[in-house]
Amino acid sequence: MKNLLREKIMNGEKTVGTFFEAGNASVAEALALTDLDYMLIDTEHGPFDVESVMLMLRGVELHGTTALVRVKDSNRNSILKMLDIGAGGLIIPQVHSLEEIKKIVEYGKYFPVGQRGVAFARGAGYGYLEHAKGDINDYFATCNRETLLIPQCETKGCLENIEEIAKVDGIDGIFVGPYDLSVAMGIPTQFDKPEFKAALERILKAVKDAGKFTIIYCADFNVANTRLKQGFDSVTVGQDVNFYIDAINEMVHSIEK
């Protein structure tokens, strides 16, 4: 059980992913054939849930791309089930407080870090995968290390408590949602405002000081290049459906009719 995205980030590599919104296992498999480091299956805004995500994960795993899942909320079932079916990590949206963060760790990490419910489900090969066969404490340690818990910093509460949140044992990194964060700050999409730039710098410093990594959503590759130079470890660029639409339109418009 090795999380290739985690390994790349720990090795100091910059990584690139995209949101997966199409919601079809065959499309997920095709996306895994690209050079992306990861895809982020979106169940917060996407219409799909646990059973369909499980099929997507099977398609992705055929080709070694890491599949993260953005869960719909921070409730126990939302966290537990996506980990049980084999998600490489979770992005948790709309967290507001340190208390919520501690609950996320309680639900998503095994003993002694948290209190994740024990079950040898699909993610453990129903108990037949190598990492699930031995001592239970070794199994817990492997899962705690390789499955990532990544809250989104997109609320005023999360921003105001980012130093404490980043330090929590069991939190592996922070995902910045710039659009919702700017709305929470009262300056929707005004990313050039000094206060928004200061917020990003605060997040970067807090997370780096805690020894964790940062991911940020970017609308396009130009923004992505800027954010990587700024110090973010990873960029999640756009969403798959927009790339499909843009590529087809480019093909249509390049043909001389």
pLDDT tens-digit series, residues 112-160: 999 999 999 999 999 999 999 999 999 999 999 999 999 999 999 999 9
pTM of the model: 0.94
| Distance between CA atoms of residues 71 and 217, nearest Å | 16
Q: What is the CB neighbour count within 10 angstroms for residue 192?
A: 8
Q: Which residues of the chain have pLDDT under 50?
A: none
Can you say whether the dihedral through the CA atoms of 191, 174, 13, 216 is positive or negative? negative
Interhelix angle 25-32/50-61, nearest 10 degrees: 30
The pLDDT assigned to 62 comes to 87
Helices (H), 170-239: 178-184, 194-209, 221-230
Q: Does the annotation count 96 as an active-site position?
A: no
CA dihedral 213, 110, 140, 173 (to 10 degrees): 0
DSSP type of residue 42: E
**114-120, Cβ contacts within 8 angstroms, sequence gap of 24 or more:** 114/144, 114/170, 116/80, 116/83, 116/143, 117/80, 119/84
Catalytic residue among 45, 63, 131, 253: 45
Side-chain-side CA neighbours of residue 47 (13 Å) = 3
So what's the pLDDT on residue 208?
97
Coil vs helix vs strand at 217: strand
Taking the C-alpha atoms of residue 105 and residue 212, their distance in angstroms, rounded to an integer, is 15
Tell me what pLDDT residue 109 has: 98
Q: Count Cβ atoms below 10 Å from residue 175 Cβ, excluding itself.
A: 24
**How confident is the model at residue 64, as a pLDDT?**
80
Measure the CA–CA gap between 96 and 158, rounded to whole angstroms: 5
Handedness of CA 65, 240, 215, 88 (dihedral sign): negative
Task: Tally the residues of the chain.
Answer: 257
pLDDT of residue 252: 96
